[in-house]
Chain A
Amino acid sequence: MLQTISILLENKPGALLRVTGLLSARGYNIETLTVAKTIDPELSRMTITVEVEDRLRTQVIKQMNKLVNVLQATDLTDSPAVIREMVLLRVRCPQESRTAVLKEAEIFHARVVDSSVEGFAIEATGEPEKLDEFIDVMRSYGESEVSRSGGVAMSLESRKLRLQPPVALVGQVSDLPTTIPN
């Protein structure tokens, strides 16, 4: 079963790799991954969907939470959350089906972002399963090419974020002599 994981992590070089490395080291193939900075520009929010063996799902989340750069990793698979995805699709369609394509786009609340004699470029957002259908419909009109964003997820429950407070280096540093004996 696909697992949806939402991760709040520090916006630092290599942080992404630490998270994905945990999955690739276990031979898991990431289905989708999105990441962008949050309101706090020092943090990023990442959504990953990945097929993980059931018995290892908790372990994977725990390992992610162990990463120093990760503030919180949450499994959203079975908890209240919204997941949305965006797709950009280019469809080539003959003159006679142009109106039909526009009608279909409207049904999916999609927007035409480019129109040419060959066809349309269309932008759609929604639940990933809905977008699968949208793509299927469009492909029935003609040769299509798609670029999907992968899901972005937001938990509908507020979760307490446990963060480590700053640690004073007293005892580690200041107790040591700064004067070195000859």
Chain B
Amino acid sequence: MQAPEVHPAPAKRVETGQLMTGAEMLLECLTREGVDCFFGYPGGVTIPFYDALYSHHIKHILVRHEENACFAAEGYARATGKVGVCCATSGPGATNLVTGLVDALMDSIPLVAITGQVHSKLIGSDAFQEADTFGITRPSTKHNFMVKTLQELPQIVHEAFYLAASGRPGPVLVDIPKDVFQARGHYTPVDTIHLPGYKVFTEGHTGQIRRAAQLVWEAERPMVYAGGGIVAANAAPELKEFVELSDAPAVCTLMGLGGLSCSHPNYISMPGMHGSYAANMGMTECDLLIALGARFDDRVTGQLQSFARHARVIHVDIDPAEIGKNRTPDIPIVGDVKRVLQKLNKVLQELEPEFGKKKSEARRQWWTRIRDWKAERPYDRPHAENEIKPQHLMDEIDRLSGGQAIVCSDVGQHQMWAAQLIRFNEPRLWINSGGLGAMGFGLPSAMGAQMARPDKLVFAICGDGGFQMSIPELATIMTHALPIKIIVMNNGYLGMVRQWQTLFYNNRLSAVDMSCFPDAEKLAAAYGFRGRTIDKPWQLTQALQEAINEPGPYLLNVMVSPEENVYPMVPAGGAIQDMVFGPVEPVAV
């Protein structure tokens, strides 16, 4: 195995007023923000920055495509909650970041992207590798900056980190012209930042919290709808306390998986388009929906008018613009879900003597209904004798990871099966592109997660489509000896599109055939590690175990039944209680 790039990390203390270049100042700011590694790809205008990096202790991961630098930084951020950092050069480097930026924006992932820009005297002249990065990334970031002078560089970098991590997290881009990297000036550490227009409300309205607590006790059929905000706010312990105090059943969305441990007795499962029967029926029939850091996404609510139609709604979110966006709540609470839950739990306890037992009979009946729904239609987990069912694969990964491994998923059918069947006992174990659904996310995000958590077993679960978008990163994985277990769920199709074409377009399979796929063993060997293809159910356990036991990376290509569909499924635009569990009459969508 090739040795990772190592440069000497000289001990140095940066003094106030020290003469430094812009590139050195940027590195000093990154150090002060606690950045230990970042992902990038150099180019013409960032050479001065990479030159300063040569003798700096911060670790740089050279990816093979800038989009993957952004995805890897997201993986790092999603696995830790820290701000992920990526870097690209001007023009094509910056434009290649855009998909990752939008992905981080949709899923509220803290990210700082640094892009080089052409010399400030050349801006606007259609210079070589010039693009209007500031303009292009404005709608794809939470905020973006263009640095014009060396003096403002440190301030802007710290503002970028602050914006990325605080409030509703998100990606922030800093565009730096080449001459700012090269300029020399006296460095003054930044001690305060001032963003007068940046309004963050964390505490929640006390009166509303009290009213919410009363509603919780008065509810006969409460349901917790926990979203990605629980994970982002590190509010899992508070959520656990809340469901235990209120004895409310809970669903975690695709972004919130692990927010409440899947082994918790109050946990039902994931709701939505491919959510479980019990979760969707529970959401439909509840009389109080407690939305915590969730945004009533169309993939969760289905047809909005009939979503939780009997329910009053408590909506807690740190972003005021999410409140009432899709559903007008009865109790809106703007605040950090962790802080709000701490207060809510306290009030719940205070009110328990007064209200606690009033609804116990109704609650008992509610739990019986939920248990019945669970028993009536659990997730389908077919196993076959001669072919590997995709659900069988996910079952085995679930068993071997024991709710402790990090699972980075790509986008498509495998993502849904993984989300349904792999159980997570903690937050930040399930990493996927939820809002944007960006194919090619799985493998690079696993690089970031493994860099952040070298102690963890990390799976990258990809479809044969998404994996082929990320193959170049096998070189990065090898270079840094990242022991990622790459599991390709190979059905020879772009499976999710194929499923829709089968169900809703008279099985006219248009542009979904992916049957040409490289030999996994040879492909892995070409990069210097081990790989294997399996297609029989009896090989599965042993092959996965072999992959896990391998000290380095491993590529396991699992040929699965090509035409398996993900169920339950809510047809697009349908109400979530109208799930289908098998092929339906084709309808136009």
Contacts and interface: CB of A to CB of B under 8 A. Distances in A.
A62 B138 CA distance: 18
A13 B146 contact: yes
Given A71-B196, A172-B33, A167 B162 contact: yes
B9 A167 contact: no
Interface stretch (B11-19, B416-424, B493-501): B11-19
B121 interface: no
A107 interface: no
Nearest to B322: A62
Interface string B124-144: 000000000011001100111
Interface string B1-44: 00000000111111000000000000000011110000000000
A181 B238 CA distance: 37
Contacts of B183: none
A169 B31 contact: no
A69 B138 CA distance: 12
A162 interface: yes
A170 B143 CA distance: 23
B161 interface: yes
Q: Is the interface of B mostly helix, strand, loop or mixed?
A: loop
A173 B191 contact: yes
A68 B198 contact: yes
Contacts of B402: none
Contact of B13 (A63, A163, A178): A178
Contacts of B191: 168-170, 173-174
A68 B143 contact: yes
Contact of B139 (A25, A62, A65, A163): A25
A162 B190 CA distance: 24
A168 to B, nearest CB: 5
Contacts of A170: 191
Given A173-B158, A180-B11, A182-B11, A14 B134 contact: yes
B511 interface: no
24 contacts: A9-B197, A13-B146, A14-B134, A14-B135, A14-B146, A17-B138, A68-B143, A68-B195, A68-B198, A69-B197, A72-B197, A164-B199, A166-B192, A167-B193, A169-B191, A169-B193, A170-B191, A172-B34, A172-B158, A172-B161, A173-B189, A173-B191, A176-B33, A182-B11
Given A68-B195, A166-B192, A182-B11, 8 more contacts: A14-B146, A66-B319, A68-B198, A167-B162, A167-B194, A169-B191, A169-B193, A182-B9
Interface of B: 9-14, 31-34, 57, 134-135, 138-139, 142-144, 146, 158, 161-163, 189-200, 319-321, 324-325
> Which are the 9 A-B pairs with shortest beta-carbon distances?
A62-B321, A166-B194, A163-B196, A71-B197, A173-B32, A68-B143, A166-B192, A182-B11, A180-B57
